[in-house]
Amino acid sequence: MGPRMPPSIRTGDLSLGKKAILRDLGHVAVVPLDYFNTAVLPPLHTCIDIQDIENRLCRSKTSSKESYRWSSFPKDPEKEANLIFGRLSRVFDKVVQLAAEGTGTSPKLTFAQKPTISPTSERANISPPDAYLLLVNTKSVGKYATCSAHRWDDIAVSFELKCDGELGDEYSDVSNVLLSNSM
């Protein structure tokens, strides 16, 4: 069972819950991608050749070195998460397929996009992430092992979409993810 949440988080008021979680956490670190890649992610399999994958993506017309774009995004994407993450899912799947071919191993993660369905846990979740990377071989146990809904325990990374120029709270995406993990 997770930590006991203060009553202010459990009021049912989403805005109040987000503020309460951020207040209780204090400072939320926002780190550069390089830090995430080196300090959080495991090292790449030694047989993964990034340059070879990039070349194969270009040959298969999944990406273009001339336009610096993925074929799924011939122009700047709309501000709708379903469309953006749906297209990104195709890119992710192609990159993972090529990496798996290079290593002879099966992927460990799959891209999931269910922005209207909250992953389940022992707590009630009301704020789902826009998309996430899900373990292929889930680790859920007990009654959750056969549950058809995705479980927070089986999610490696969650995503929230913030479009360029979108106004709002600087930490709204962070608080959305934290709220859905805490409630």
pLDDT digits (tens, 9 = 90+) for 59-101: 998 888 888 888 888 877 766 666 777 888 888 999 999 999 9
| Per-domain residue ranges of the chain | 1-43+108-183, 45-105
Structural tokens at position 35: 């830090």
pLDDT digits (tens, 9 = 90+) for 102-131: 899 998 888 888 777 778 777 666 667 888
* Nearest alpha-carbon partner for 153 in 119, 178, 176: 119
pTM of the model: 0.68
Contact predicate 154/121, CB 8 Å: no
